[in-house]
Homo-oligomer: A and B are copies of this chain.
Amino acid sequence: MPPYVVALDVGGTSMKGGVVTADGTVAHTESRPTPRPADAAVAAIRAFVADLMTTEPGTPAGIGIVVPGLVTDDAARYSANIGWRDVPAGAFTPPSAAGVPIRLGHDVRTAGLAESVLGTGRDLSDFLFLPIGTGIAGAMIIQDAPYAGATGWAGEIGHIPVFPGGETCACGQTGCLETYASASAIPRRYTHKTGIPATTAEVIAAAPTDPAAQEVWTDALEALSLALATYTLLLDPAAIIVGGGLSQAGETLLTPLRPRLSSRLTFRPAPPLHTSSLGPHAGMLGAALLAWQASETDTWHPPDVPPPPMVS
């Protein structure tokens, strides 16, 4: 067995684990629910790491774990979603991992790192990776690295006020991007208008013929075009790469979004819009990159790994 790392992408509802070998192959991947309360989540992560380690002989070269909220290399500082505060990295690893280097990372920024090393952004030094799922946050890649800001709070594009005085967001503010354009906002707003339950894909599919679906989808596109125009004017990215659940809509999303974005930019061109080539694996692959970085081995040279990822 060649050297390998254990990688874990911890989300609010589920965790995606992987065993990644030195040539970039994902030898094993598995998903599990993220339990509550926070103590149970920490214990479940520890057990998941232990189980992933048993899928290969020998000990891993490193362990990478990405989590939501505020996080440093060696501690999960805060997550409103999972409910923890100041969990040291060591609490996430089982006794069998004693001595194995570990690195923590922010879920969205680390997914952006994976996009920049392995994915659609691999030839770009400055871009936005925008996963649109139940929430919306951005990984701002600036000069080849994810940017965390002065205090670790950068990239909260989901809460910029695109429609001031608009609908109330879970964050307490009004008119946030996420309230109109997330993969959970679209069905929620449709059902609120019509009383009819629907999935995001159903609302998008119905937009050409159903006025309520049309209105919800148009609002989502307008909110996204305002947010992306704002991002472009501030940060001048070389591209915007959309990921997360909504990116599965592909050109159904990007084709109407491109002219809307361009129409909001009068004195400069719009950056190209793409969908992520890593899809839902971006966070876990990014965690593997962190694990290889933590291992301080030069076994793997991620920029040389041919994309798209070789997921088994």
Q: Which A residues form the contact surface with B (CB < 8 A)?
A: 80, 124-127, 138, 140, 142, 147-157, 159-164, 171-173, 222, 226, 229-231, 233-238, 264-268, 271
Contact = CB atoms under 8 A, between A and B. Distances in A.
> Within the oligomer, what is the number of copies of this chain?
2
Contact of A226 (B126, B155, B161, B222): B161
Given A173-B266, A266-B173, A233 B151 contact: no
Contact of A234 (B173, B234, B238): B234
Given A171-B267, A172-B266, A154 B226 contact: no
10 contacts: A124-B150, A140-B234, A149-B237, A150-B237, A155-B234, A156-B234, A163-B164, A164-B222, A164-B226, A173-B264
Give the 7 A-B CB pairs with smallest separation, nearest first: A149-B236, A150-B238, A172-B266, A154-B236, A156-B233, A153-B236, A126-B150
Contacts of A140: 234-235
A44 B251 CA distance: 52
A174 to B, nearest CB: 9
Given A161-B226, A164-B222, 10 more contacts: A126-B149, A149-B235, A149-B237, A154-B235, A154-B236, A156-B233, A157-B234, A160-B229, A162-B164, A230-B234
Nearest to A160: B230
Nearest to A155: B234
Given A149-B126, A150-B125, A164-B226, A233 B159 contact: yes
A151 B236 contact: yes
Contacts of A80: 267
Contacts of A152: 236
A231 B148 CA distance: 13
The residue in A124, A126, A230, A233 that gathers the most chain B C-beta atoms within 10 A of its C-beta is: A233
A229 B156 CA distance: 11
A153 B232 CA distance: 9
A83 to B, nearest CB: 14
